[in-house]
Structure 1
Amino acid sequence: MHLHILGICGTFMGSLALLARDMGFDVSGSDAGVYPPMSTQLEEAGIVLREGYAASNLDPRPDRVVIGNALSRGNPEVEAVLDRGLTYVSGPQWLAEQVLPGRRVIAVAGTHGKTTTASLLAWLLESSGLEPGFLIGGVPRNFGVSARLGGQGAPFVVEADEYDTAFFDKRSKFVHYRPDIAILGNLEFDHADIFDDLTAIERQFHHLVRTVPGRGRLLVADGEPALERVLEMGCWTPVERFGNQSASAWRFELEREDASRFRVIHQQGDTDEDAVIDWSLTGTYNARNALAALAGAHACGVDLARGCAALARFETPRRRQEVRGEVAGIQVIDDFAHHPTAIAATLEGLRAATSRGRLLAVIEPRSNTMRLGTLRSRLAESVASADQSFWYQPSGIDWSLESMLAEIPASSHLVEDIDALVQALVAEAKPLDRIVVMSNGGFGGIHERLLAALEAAHG
């Protein structure tokens, strides 16, 4: 059966393509502006990619077309699908119909940390011999792929996104998954292009809560007022909380300030069990991600001590504090941070782990929320932990970053050309500095260009 995927290089759709190929489908797809790591992953899997959207991409006629949520009416390939009367479906619906039936589904939801938490959870299940399937919006380096079917009947971990499903289905993606276990990691305003306010997103999260059965489990972060409001709308499933509040079933105590070592305490009735995590990640937000993953794995039968030991071997997903290279003692780090809260948390964690040298933040405000300027009042404070910040103003953004930069106490720079940005970074960077590049897109291949320029300057 020939399956053709529109928007195949998106993290979700590319992962879907890998699952379909492993199920025996003949898979092809089209996209515009493809970039690694997804394009590389698909090419290595032997999946045919067609650059750009055109009616000719639908020849020969596919049996079914899966349409990504980045596609809308007016797109030439979408119009051809409709005009030719082809059978089409959204990605989340295809996953729900073809992959998830008969599996114990664990959905990882939240504004931030979904990819890391889902990767942690999949690794914990794998380390315990459960052979999980998964679909994650990134590439977990412990697995090398963003999706796999896993063992027959094994648990399936899915990164559960609140963004809408498709141009013909405006519900959040995660309502399709019907999970047995749902992790709610945090919740704040995002996706200003489709949601009017936080209340609208809370309503979608409650739609997810409604789908979790009474025999299932909700794992909910403590200290999150928006999540508490979601539960107040109605809850029919046992709830366990995780975080650092004393009443939570899962909590942590730092043993190093940068959260690279901490103790996990799991309270069950009147008894506690505990174990220590000593790993390569930093930041209290990653400690919370680990708690969520441990709670999810424990619900699937994974022992706490064994799970904590496995996390010592965990590698961050691609583009999550990923060290892309080091030249002359200058480290280049790639991070997917796409929201002021995520930017601040990443930089705070790296600051705590940086004893020598400076932290230079490089930011492309590329997400729809940041491009619209909805959260621009919070952008200046998000880089408080950086010694200097470099801001790239991409074309198509309808507000200027210049006035915002005046509010940043540390040195800041505004650049409108990537070559000029690379030159400025090379001129500024010194041995022991860490350059953190933050974008949810390809950023014009800046990582490779920066490393090459540093090599030329210091080689």
Structure 2
Amino acid sequence: MHIHILGICGTFMGGVAALAREAGHRVTGCDAGVYPPMSDQLRALGIDLVEGYGADQMALRPDVWVVGNVVSRARLPDGSPRYPLMEAILESGARYTSGPQWLAEHVLHGRHVLAVAGTHGKTTTTSMLAWVLEATGQQPGFLVGGVPVDFGVSARLGTGGQFVIEADEYDTAFFDKRSKFVHYRPRTAVLNNLEFDHADIFDDLAAIERQFHHLVRTVPSSGRVIVNELEESLARVLHEGCWSEVRSFGAAVSDFTAQGEPGGFDVLLRGERVGRVDWDLSGTHNQLNALAAIAAAEHVGVAPAQAAAALGRFRNVKRRMELRGESGGVRVYDDFAHHPTAIRTTLDGLRRKLGPAGGRILAVFEPRSNTMKLGAMKAQLPWSLEQADLAFCHAGGLGWDARDALAPMGVRASVADSIEDLVAQVVPAARAGDHVVCMSNGGFGGIHARLLQALSAR
């Protein structure tokens, strides 16, 4: 089969492309701004890429067009279509589908799908679960919205009967406004947490809870729903109806609980010690992620003791508190955190790991997600940055006043309208022993390398 993917350089669609190519299909694709590293990864797989969305790509005549959710029916100011190729596909009557639908029909069908959903921690928990299954001989397939260090790739078919997938609540395509995860039909579903996010497509938290309940409806009675019992929003989701076995984690009365610090803890199943995790990860959020992965692995026959031992060898995911370098005694990290709660848990985890005498934390962040750009959570930013000694915000392109939003932090917060100005603020403020945490869900203008270069030149 020849598939042509519109929006191929996105993390999810790039993963679909890699899986399709591994399965033996001919894969081509297009995107706006085809650039490394995704372009290099795809071309290394033998996937031809086209820049832009020109209608001349109709000459490729694939068996099916796979449409990413970046594509819309939007028009440019002059009235011309933003995506001429999509208009040509619709006019021609050619066969088209979404990435999640193609994945469900051609990769997931017939396999035991383990899906990890949640506002935060999806990528890390999915990676943990895939690693546990791999370390215990299951050889799972997986699709992750990042690159697990233990695998070096974001997606693979695997030879076992299980497939682990990051289950995103964002919508599927312009013609299918359901959440992506509704297509996956999991037998094991992790509901890790649930907060308001994606203000560009959801009106309120209740709208997202409704989508999570749609996911719960697809789990068979012999399946398992694994739920974070600390989350009232998830309690409301299950209250709407659940027809499967439920296993809980997180709260003192949950099935799976942890005893000890996040860096080393016993795993308890209904109060009985069943394993121990000793690892380099920090933060209560990762402790909870581990419990979710252990509960999910148990559903496919992996004993909690085995899962806990495997997690002791887990090396995390790129861009999750990834140390990018050190210069002049200043350590620079890269982290994907962009929602206020994720920013707070990331900084809390580092503060807890460092201890009171472990050096200052300098938080460098950009409100880049659609939700943050809309200003829906700007009031939570001071709360999210409480553990930072200093905070530096890149405010270029925002439609709201970052200086006003960060005013409660006083002199601890600085705002810059360009990456150059941001670097110029951070470097003089940094001193030996500091930890500079750069947080964004994008490339952040290569700020990590710029900071390290500027620090070494001072």
Could you state the TM-score of these two structures normalised by the residue count of structure 2? 0.94
Q: CA deviation at 1:345?
A: 0.4
- SS state of the match for residue 409, structure 2? coil
Contact 2:127–2:148, Cα closer than 8 Å, also in 1: yes
User: Residue deviations 1:369-418, cap 9 Å, x none?
Assistant: 100111111112110000111100122x2111110121125611110111
- Structure 2 counterparts to residues 129-168 of structure 1, below 5 A: 129-152=137-160, 154-168=161-175
Q: CA deviation at 1:252?
A: 0.4
Q: CA deviation at 1:105?
A: 0.4
User: Partner of 1:443 in structure 2?
Assistant: 444
User: Residue deviations 1:91-119, cap 9 Å, x none?
Assistant: 00001000011100011001100000000
Contact 2:34–2:49, Cα closer than 8 Å, also in 1: no
- Structure 2 counterparts to residues 127-276 of structure 1, below 5 A: 127-152=135-160, 154-243=161-250, 245-254=251-260, 256=261, 259-267=262-270, 272-276=272-276
Deviates more, 1:25-34 or 1:326-335: 25-34
CA distance in 2 between partners of 1:293 and 1:284 (Å): 14
The answer to whether residue 12 in structure 2 is matched with residue 4 in structure 1 is no
CA distance in 2 between partners of 1:306 and 1:10 (Å): 34
Contact 2:224–2:246, Cα closer than 8 Å, also in 1: yes
Deviates more, 1:135-144 or 1:427-436: 427-436
Q: 1:453 to 1:32 in 2, by over 3 A?
A: farther
Q: 1:311 to 1:86 in 2, by over 3 A?
A: same
Deviates more, 1:187-196 or 1:419-428: 419-428
Counterpart code for 1:445: G
Q: CA deviation at 1:43?
A: 3.5
The answer to whether residue 84 in structure 2 is matched with residue 82 in structure 1 is no
CA distance in 2 between partners of 1:47 and 1:345 (Å): 38
CA distance in 2 between partners of 1:32 and 1:351 (Å): 39
CA distance in 2 between partners of 1:36 and 1:353 (Å): 34
User: Partner of 1:22 in structure 2?
Assistant: 22
Q: CA deviation at 1:193?
A: 0.6
- Structure 2 counterparts to residues 366-405 of structure 1, below 5 A: 366-395=368-397, 397-405=398-406
User: Residue deviations 1:54-112, cap 9 Å, x none?
Assistant: 22344422221111112101322322322333321100000100001110001100110
User: Partner of 2:316 in structure 1?
Assistant: 316
Contact 1:106–1:179, Cα closer than 8 Å, also in 2: yes
User: Residue deviations 1:104-147, cap 9 Å, x none?
Assistant: 00110011000000000000000000000011111111101111
Contact 1:162–1:173, Cα closer than 8 Å, also in 2: yes
User: Residue deviations 1:224-279, cap 9 Å, x none?
Assistant: 11101111111111111001x2321100012x3xx211111112xxx723322110
CA distance in 2 between partners of 1:85 and 1:2 (Å): 17
- SS state of the match for residue 106, structure 1? strand
Counterpart code for 1:9: C
CA distance in 1 between partners of 2:301 and 2:409 (Å): 48
Deviates more, 1:204-213 or 1:69-78: 69-78
Q: CA deviation at 1:316?
A: 1.4
The answer to whether residue 291 in structure 2 is matched with residue 284 in structure 1 is no
Contact 1:189–1:198, Cα closer than 8 Å, also in 2: yes
Which sections of structure 2, spanning at least 5 residues, go unmatched? 75-82
CA distance in 1 between partners of 2:164 and 2:339 (Å): 24
User: Residue deviations 1:156-210, cap 9 Å, x none?
Assistant: 0011111110000011111111100100000111111111111111111110000
What is the RMSD of the two structures over their aligned residues, measured on CA atoms? 1.5
CA distance in 2 between partners of 1:80 and 1:98 (Å): 25
User: Partner of 2:77 in structure 1?
Assistant: none
Could you state the TM-score of these two structures normalised by the residue count of structure 1? 0.94
Contact 1:163–1:191, Cα closer than 8 Å, also in 2: yes
User: Residue deviations 1:326-384, cap 9 Å, x none?
Assistant: 22221111111121000000010011112422111111101011001111111121100
Contact 1:118–1:136, Cα closer than 8 Å, also in 2: yes
Contact 1:387–1:410, Cα closer than 8 Å, also in 2: no
User: Partner of 1:362 in structure 2?
Assistant: 364
CA distance in 1 between partners of 2:184 and 2:220 (Å): 12
User: Partner of 1:307 in structure 2?
Assistant: 307
Q: 1:282 to 1:29 in 2, by over 3 A?
A: same
Counterpart code for 2:368: R
Counterpart code for 1:42: L
Contact 1:381–1:408, Cα closer than 8 Å, also in 2: no
CA distance in 1 between partners of 2:363 and 2:374 (Å): 21
CA distance in 1 between partners of 2:92 and 2:427 (Å): 53
Counterpart code for 1:432: G
CA distance in 2 between partners of 1:2 and 1:196 (Å): 38
Contact 1:384–1:410, Cα closer than 8 Å, also in 2: no
User: Partner of 2:107 in structure 1?
Assistant: 99
CA distance in 2 between partners of 1:364 and 1:373 (Å): 12
CA distance in 1 between partners of 2:56 and 2:265 (Å): 55
Which sections of structure 1, spanning at least 5 residues, go unmatched? none
CA distance in 2 between partners of 1:151 and 1:410 (Å): 55
Deviates more, 1:419-428 or 1:51-60: 51-60
Counterpart code for 1:300: V
